[in-house]
Amino acid sequence: MTTPRGSSSSWASELASFVTAGLGRYLLALLTALIIAGHLVWLATRRRTQLGYLAGVGLGIYQAAGLGLVGDYGVADPKRPLGRAAAVVWTIVGVSFVSLFTAALASHLTVQNIEGKITGVQDLRAARVATVSGSSAAGYLTAHAITFTSAPTINDVYRQLNSGGVDAIVFDAPVLQHHIKLIRSTNETLVGGIFARENYGIALPLGSALRKKINETLLDITADGTYDELYSKYFGDANSG
């Protein structure tokens, strides 16, 4: 798969990346904690406030958020020693949580800026993807319910990537590897590894005398290292595809 180096992507891709990085779980945990804290506050104060369930829990969540996330004791001013002790503990927990979330978010954004937004097949559903019409790559994307645009030739697809019309190209690894090596571009990079390994074949007439010679030659150049040298010359690292 080829992408622009350090490429940006759509808001949907950003959101998906945010969630898959685990940061969404931080927010879910925070929301759950606030809801629980809101219920506890309501249970502790409902006789004094005379508020119903929804109003009481809503006020409790507001007070818990103000106290735990920003340390605002004005929204919740406990009078009893036990309440004040609980408020201090909740403030420490809240501040610690915010610190962890901030650090995780900063780390995530830093990694994204360095590596780019698309690193593998898991990022393709939120990206603009292109491939060649009728190719095995098109079949793979269709089978995995990944939306894509197609073009008649790989050169047409390259133009879409270079013009910013798509975020990634999915196609045969040797073709993409040769393209990257040939143009020596600093604006494109290969990511994601091999999605589905396939072998290339050589078509010959039935009963062709060349079949045996070709097979023997392939075995010979594989054994003596010539195959790896040719692969590296035209495609780059022989171990990458």
Please answer whether residues 80 and 69 qualify as being in contact, where contact means their C-beta atoms are separated by less than 8 angstroms: no
Q: What is the pLDDT of residue 12?
A: 55
For helices 210-223 and 226-235, angle between their N-to-C axes, nearest 10 degrees = 90
Q: What is the pLDDT of residue 210?
A: 95
Q: What is the pLDDT of residue 100?
A: 74
Of 127, 180, 173, 174, nearest to 158 by C-alpha is 180
Q: In this structure, is the dihedral angle defined by the CA atoms of residues 92, 97, 98 and 104, taken in order, positive or negative?
A: positive
Residue type for position 41: V
Q: What is the pLDDT of residue 239?
A: 47
Distance CA 21, CA 108 (A): 7
Of 135, 137, 127, 136, nearest to 165 by C-alpha is 127
Q: What is the pLDDT of residue 93?
A: 77
Q: CATH 3.40.190.10: which residues of the chain?
A: 118-200
Three-class DSSP labels, the chain: CEEECCCCCCHHHHHHHHHHCCHHHHHHHHHHHHHHHHHHHHHHHHHHHCCCHHHHHHHHHHHHHHHHHHCCCCCCCCCCHHHHHHHHHHHHHHHHHHHHHHHHHHHHHHHHHHHCCCCCHHHHHHCCEEEECCCHHHHHHHHCCCCCEEECCHHHHHHHHHCCCCCEECCCHHHHHHHHHHHCCCCEEECCCCCCCCCCCCCCCCCCCHHHHHHHHHHHHHHCCHHHHHHHHHHCCCCCC
Phi/psi at 132 (5° precision): -90, 140
Looking at the domain 118-200, which fold is it? D-Maltodextrin-Binding Protein; domain 2 (3.40.190)
Q: What is the pLDDT of residue 129?
A: 94
Q: CATH 1.10.287: which residues of the chain?
A: 8-115
Looking at the domain 8-115, which fold is it? Helix Hairpins (1.10.287)
Enumerate residue ranges in the chain where pLDDT < 50.
Answer: 7-9, 114, 238-241
Distance CA 30, CA 65 (A): 9
Q: Which residues lie closer than 8 Å to 149 by C-beta, 6 or more apart?
A: 128, 129, 130, 160, 165, 166
Q: What is the pLDDT of residue 3?
A: 66
Distance CA 127, CA 8 (A): 10
Q: pTM score > 0.85 for this model?
A: no
Q: What is the pLDDT of residue 110?
A: 57
